[in-house]
Amino acid sequence: MKMSDYNFAYLDEQTKRMIRRAILKGLAIPGYQVPFASREMPMPYGWGTGGVQVSAAVMVPEDTLKVIDQGADDTTNAVSIRRFFEKTAGVAVTEHTDQANVIQTRHRIPEQDLTEGQILVYQVPIPEPLRFLEPSEVETRKMHSLEEYGLMHVKLYEDIAQHGAIATAYAYPVRVEGRYVMDPSPIPKFDNPKLTMAGIQLFGAGREQRIYALPPYTDVVSLDFEDFPFEASKADHACGLCGAIDSYLDELIVDDQGARMFMCSDTDYCAGRQEETAA
């Protein structure tokens, strides 16, 4: 099938307008989850349908797209979404963070800092940070409207009471501009400090039908306590491939003897460092 057989970026124009209006309200109310009429996409829920719809609504033909899944450009989810937009939008694709205008991500923020003009689109499974504490949408909406976030601090406190430290390691809740508590999607808490950045961040949850956003330089604070301050933790190793000590690491079992190796989760960052060393 040729690209011209699809409407540009797959979605019909009225759907894109609806998503675009939700994105504008999301940017105007940072951290607030805007409901939107999520569409069926040609991939299952849980494979980034929210992110794909947001990417489709913001993409222009001149864009260069990068897609990562847990930091990697070469995993199934990333490859299939990249091909989807190559086919339906005819955009250029890249694996290099600095060459991309639009980066769709599942559960990581690239190691390399984003610059103004870059757009980071997150795939979000559960957008509501209070959902596991309060199952009712009516109640969580009321809690957000009243800034009633005590329950979240109780949860973090119970972490400390049980484990001696805040054990939440991913999807670590943040407070945006001193107002809305937001789920940053299941990124490792190592990435939380990077949520205040120069790029535009858009979050799409397809199954849950929510879009939210962070404009550049928005004040994003990870929730914590004075005596238990937030810590952006990572495995205490260097990358086994490039030697980086400042990047987020995946742990991989490499043989049947239980030997382990730690390596950068951001494949582009790791490859770039290895090339530099080789040159």
When the beta carbons of 59 and 81 are compared against other proteins, the nearer one is 59
Q: Which stretch binds other proteins (CB under 8 A): 26-34, 103-111, 162-170, 256-264?
A: 26-34
Q: Does 59 bind other proteins (CB under 8 A)?
A: yes
Subset of 99-128 contacting other proteins (CB under 8 A): 116-117
- Residues 229, 233, 238: CA angle, nearest 5 degrees: 150
Q: Does 3 bind other proteins (CB under 8 A)?
A: no
Q: Does 35 bind other proteins (CB under 8 A)?
A: yes
Candidate list 20, 39, 153, 155; residue touching other proteins; CB under 8 A: 20
Asked if residue 213 lies in contact with residue 62, where contact means CB atoms within 8 angstroms, the answer is: no
Q: Does 25 bind other proteins (CB under 8 A)?
A: yes
Tokens of 172: 């670590």
Instruction: Extract the runs of DSSP E, i.e. beta strands, from 70-191.
Output: 92-93, 102-106, 119-123, 174-176, 180-182
When the beta carbons of 216 and 240 are compared against other proteins, the nearer one is 216
Tokens of 174: 């943040």
Catalytic residues: 31, 239, 242, 264, 270
Say how many C-beta atoms besides its own lie within 10 A of residue 66's C-beta. Answer: 24
Q: Does 32 bind other proteins (CB under 8 A)?
A: yes
DSSP 185-230: -S-BGGGGGGGS-SSEEEEEETTTTEEEEE-TT--EEE---SSS--
Q: Which of 169, 194, 175 is nearest to 97 (CA)?
A: 194
Calpha distance 249→4 (Å, rounded): 41
Asked if residue 23 lies in contact with residue 122, where contact means CB atoms within 8 angstroms, the answer is: no
Please report where in the chains the tokens 């956003």 appear, as a residue.
213
Q: Does 61 bind other proteins (CB under 8 A)?
A: yes
Number of residues forming the site for other proteins (CB under 8 A): 46
Calpha distance 137→160 (Å, rounded): 27
Q: Minimal distance in Å, beta carbon 215 to other proteins?
A: 4
When the beta carbons of 61 and 243 are compared against other proteins, the nearer one is 61
The 211-250 site mask, x for binding other proteins (CB under 8 A), equals --xxxxxxx-------------------------------
Asked if residue 14 lies in contact with residue 7, where contact means CB atoms within 8 angstroms, the answer is: no
When the beta carbons of 57 and 93 are compared against other proteins, the nearer one is 57
The 129-168 site mask, x for binding other proteins (CB under 8 A), equals ------------xx-xxx----------------------
Say how many C-beta atoms besides its own lie within 10 A of residue 15's C-beta. Answer: 18
Q: Does 260 bind other proteins (CB under 8 A)?
A: no
Subset of 171-190 contacting other proteins (CB under 8 A): 177, 179-180
Q: Minimal distance in Å, beta carbon 89 to other proteins?
A: 9
Task: Give the residues lining the site for other proteins (CB under 8 A).
Answer: 7-9, 13-14, 16-18, 20-30, 32, 34-35, 57-61, 116-117, 141-142, 144-146, 177, 179-180, 198, 200, 213-219
